[in-house]
Structure 1
Amino acid sequence: MSDIYKDINSNYEKLSETEREVINFVLKFEDIENLKLRDIKEALYISNATVIRACKKLNYETFSELKDAFIQSREEKRSVYPVKSNFLQELDRIKKDTLTTLELVDEKNIDQICNCLIKARRIFCIGTGSSSRVASEFNHKLKSVDLWTNDFSDKMLIEHIPQISTVEDVVVVFSLSGQVEEIDETIIKIKSNRTTIISITNMAAIKLKSISTYCLLTSNPSDQKRICSSLMLYMMSTLIYEKLITKVPSFE
């Protein structure tokens, strides 16, 4: 059987305006297996004879032959370019993001962050939106090694931190987008107290990175419209914790 798209391309000029409407209708029809002559007839208000003439001008004797050609072409494309399920597409994205994030890891940077956490008088873990869950879990991990720490997700409470933070304290900011203007303004105020700022955010968060004393970067979400996973933030928080427990005396 010949290639339906080559046949259309070669013979399209031979078709009358009405016959072109027929072929265009078939091209756009998604459920080609269940397409019937009466569907075209009722949609375009034309006769069966017009549909058959269009088929014959494309070198197909019957409408069934035309349908079979479309189906075969689609199946051949699927065999060469298999359509991945949404799950497999998401799995590929996670693999890509994970590898990119791991390539950004600097062990020396993580080591310096751990030293700051161990020496801190108080640790404030900040996160809003979906990042708040990561901040809360990281706060729990720090408590497990007897560090003084609290997590903050409410913006009003976060805005209060500049009034109490000192040079002896550390603020850890988790931000999936890295573009929360209100948080950036608060962090600037906190930094003016000479408080150490540690941020875990994506590589596009230029402003937050510039404010921070130390910054761990994750891959930048490629599609800003989709709801981004916090998995990369969790991964970075885990790397800090795993390094931390090797340095805390009670875990030696």
Structure 2
Amino acid sequence: MNYKDDLGLQPRIRSSYMRLHPAEKKIADYILENETTSTIDIDTLANKTQTSKASVSRFCRRLGYGGFKEFSLHLAQENIAKSKTDEAVGLIRKTMYANAQACLDTQYLLDEQQIEKIAGSIAQASRIFLVGSSAVAPIILDFSQKMLRLGIVCHYDQARRIQKMQAAVSGPLDLVIAFDLSGEAKGTIEAVSIAKKMGAQIITICCGIGSSLSELSSIHIYGVGQKMGNYVTGTGETRISLLNIVDVIFYRLMEIMPADKRDEMLNKTKDIILEDWN
């Protein structure tokens, strides 16, 4: 195979993602989120993704490789090429392209029925508690502000201990919405587990298909889970994907709310925003 002219690994995964089997999607998510996989062996990759060597081999073949050895070699060469070409202009172009592609890819991961269920649950909830921290905190704050524009108050504190306390006092009439990138953040999983024991309804919005977090929810929706280059902070794509999901939920809520109540809330909050600008 001529790797120089070949399609890159991430575009391959993006284009093949929807037809991957569940176990193969776990492998895809792990590879996209971990740039060190070029040094990993097939047994370790299977263990890390809780799949099997057979699943890893099928995943490699589905992406067009002869097997894991060819896949691993391509990944290693691709990482070397990236390290040599990440100059300013090229990096800017790749960053913009990756973020734009994340927006386009998100639409193929969204389930209209799940969006409908989320909007309905938010509208009917007695109280809403938001869970998540670190990289998803700005996304949660954006979600909270958008809900407030519609007169829907969400309880959120970035401190994990407070999130667990809020989960502990939740109940069957309450809604807990958890955000995360990978779906494996320990603190978020712990808070959601507590809320589930209390009988609260759980919604998860993350980028890890089949993740531990999504397994705890009755309603789950996924964004694009990717990383660019060798940078552990390269989560722009995943966050942009989740921000798009927040917008979709917001606009769907606007559609199902009574027009008079919606307009009243939007006008009240708009006045506050305009006053703050002056």
Q: Same fold (TM over 0.5)?
A: yes
Segments of structure 2 that go 5 or more residues without pairing to the other structure are 1-84, 264-278
TM-score normalised by structure 1 residue count: 0.63
- Describe the SS at the equivalent of 2:256: coil
Structure 2 distance, partners of 1:211, 1:181, is 13
User: Do 1:126 and 1:173's aligned partners in 2 also have CA atoms closer than 8 Å?
Assistant: yes
> Could you say which residue in structure 2 is the equivalent of 1:203?
208
Spell out structure 1 runs of 4+ moving beyond 3 A. 222-226
1:90 and 2:88 equivalent? no
What percentage of residue pairs aligned between the two structures are identical? Answer: 19
TM-score normalised by structure 2 residue count: 0.57
Q: Larger helix proportion, structure 1 or 2?
A: 2
Structure 2 distance, partners of 1:212, 1:152, is 21
Deviations 1:220-245 (A, max 9, x none): 11447431122111111111001011
Aligned residue runs from structure 1 range 17-36, under 5 A = none
- Describe the SS at the equivalent of 2:115: helix
Structure 1 distance, partners of 2:223, 2:244, is 9
User: Do 1:114 and 1:240's aligned partners in 2 also have CA atoms closer than 8 Å?
Assistant: yes
User: Do 2:181 and 2:225's aligned partners in 1 also have CA atoms closer than 8 Å?
Assistant: no
Segments of structure 1 that go 5 or more residues without pairing to the other structure are 1-80
Rg comparison, structure with higher value:
1
Deviation for aligned residue 1:127: 2.2
Aligned residue runs from structure 1 range 2-81, under 5 A = none
Aligned length: 171
Letter of the 2:160 partner, please give it.
Answer: K
Structure 1 distance, partners of 2:147, 2:97, is 32
- Describe the SS at the equivalent of 1:159: helix
Deviations 1:80-119 (A, max 9, x none): x9x8621111122113322221101111110110000000
The alignment yields a C-alpha RMSD, in angstroms, of 2.0
Deviation for aligned residue 1:174: 1.4
Structure showing greater relative contact order (alpha-carbon pairs closer than 8 Å, 6 or more residues apart): 2
Structure 1 distance, partners of 2:116, 2:133, is 26
Structure 1 distance, partners of 2:227, 2:124, is 37
1:136 and 2:141 equivalent? yes
> Could you say which residue in structure 2 is the equivalent of 1:167?
172
- Describe the SS at the equivalent of 1:178: coil
